Structure 1
Amino acid sequence: MNAYAALLRGVNVGGRTRIAMADLRSLLTTLGYTDVRTVLQSGNAVFTAPETDPATLESTIEEALAAELGLTTRCLIRTGPELQTVLTAHPLADVADNGSKMLAVFLSATPDPALAAEHDPVALDPDTIRIGDRVVYQWCPAGIAEAPALVPFLERKWRITATARNWNTVTKLAALT
């Protein structure tokens, strides 16, 4: 069995797409996943399942959310080793001293190189944004509300799905997987 983290896009943020974490746990258990736990109220879950392609898990969960709960949202899956790599590759660790102000923006896919070159998110704030492997790191020293809106930029310019988690949440998810 492998451990996975499910990151639901835009759930329980600003009164939009709502889901009770008990319902999410129940849904994942119904799908046959085990050791299901949710983290916070923002659409994060960890579970174990037989080794499966993450893209298959994503589509299975998305389809079940729509069919069972009427919730249409994207789900990004990361394995435990992938989350650990995000933590160890942290390119802003020397300045990011507050986990609630440090973001990992998870990407649904590796961006098209031409789009990435044409629309470089680092240009939004060269001191606080770095690009990793299917993740963009963003340090928000004045707070997340004051930082450049990275998720909409990436989704619009790179034509991919993105979802952000603060560093404290990423660390918890990695520990649970």
Structure 2
Amino acid sequence: MKTYIALFRGINVGGKHILPMPALVAIFESLGLGDVKTYIQSGNAVFRCQAENVGSLSARIVAEINKRHGFEPQLLLLELAELEKVVLANPFPDAEAQPNTLHLNFLLFAPVNPNLPALDAIKKDSERFSLIDQVFYLHAPEGIGRSKLAAQAEKRLGVAMTSRNWRTVCKLMEFAKKMRLPNTANQ
């Protein structure tokens, strides 16, 4: 069995695409996915299943959500090893001490022609960013609410993305690591 991390984009945000976490767990379980654990209400889940094509698995999950709730969220599935690689690649380890200021923006696919100079031109002096593979790391010590860089990143990269702060990423990795071995799944 493999452990997967599910990152949904845009559910339970702004009163749109409401999907309570117990309903999400029920959907996962109805598809034969096991040891499902969610984290906060914004669409994070960790689960186990037999090895399967990630694209096919993602499509099945999204189709079932659409069938039951009438919308098709964007979904990015990562294996535990992929998430571990993303965490190890963090170019701003000094920012980990303030986990709500470090954001990992997971891109749905690799950008073809990202406009990094445009992002560099609008960032605040206190902000830092780095694009590594399909993750746009953003350290925004003053927060992302008023950050032009955060607001423009998706447009300038040309790829849809879903963002998680460092605390959330670490918590999901912790859940996934506990699931790695069947005898630790519920500890």
| Structure 1 residue 84 corresponds to structure 2 residue 84 | yes
User: Residue 29 of structure 1 corresponds to which residue in structure 2?
Assistant: 29
Q: Which runs of 5+ in 1 are unaligned?
A: none
Query: 1:65 Cα shift?
Result: 0.9
**Identical counterparts, % of pairs:** 30
Aligned length: 174
Partners in 1 of 2:134 and 2:156 — Cα distance?
A: 15
Contact 2:119–2:149 (CA under 8 A) maintained in structure 1: no
User: Residue 173 of structure 2 corresponds to which residue in structure 1?
Assistant: 174
CA RMSD across the alignment: 2.0
Q: Which amino acid is 1:128 matched to?
A: R
Of 107, 113, 116 in structure 1, the residue corresponding to residue 114 of structure 2 is: 116
1:124–1:86 distance in 2 versus 1, CA, 3 Å: farther
User: Residue 7 of structure 1 corresponds to which residue in structure 2?
Assistant: 7
Q: Which amino acid is 1:19 matched to?
A: L
Match of 1:99, SS state, is coil
Contact 2:5–2:47 (CA under 8 A) maintained in structure 1: yes
User: Residue 179 of structure 2 corresponds to which residue in structure 1?
Assistant: none
Match of 1:36, SS state, is strand
Taking structure 1 as the reference length, the TM-score comes to 0.89
Q: How does 1:43-122 map to 2 (within 5 A)?
A: 43-112=43-112, 115-116=113-114, 121-122=119-120
Contact 1:151–1:163 (CA under 8 A) maintained in structure 2: no
Q: Which runs of 5+ in 2 are unaligned?
A: 177-187
Query: 1:120 Cα shift?
Result: 5.6
Taking structure 2 as the reference length, the TM-score comes to 0.84
Partners in 1 of 2:61 and 2:152 — Cα distance?
A: 23
Q: Which protein shows a greater Rg?
A: 2
1:118–1:166 distance in 2 versus 1, CA, 3 Å: closer
Query: 1:16 Cα shift?
Result: 2.1
When structure 1 is superposed on structure 2, of 9-18 and 39-48 the one drifting more is: 9-18
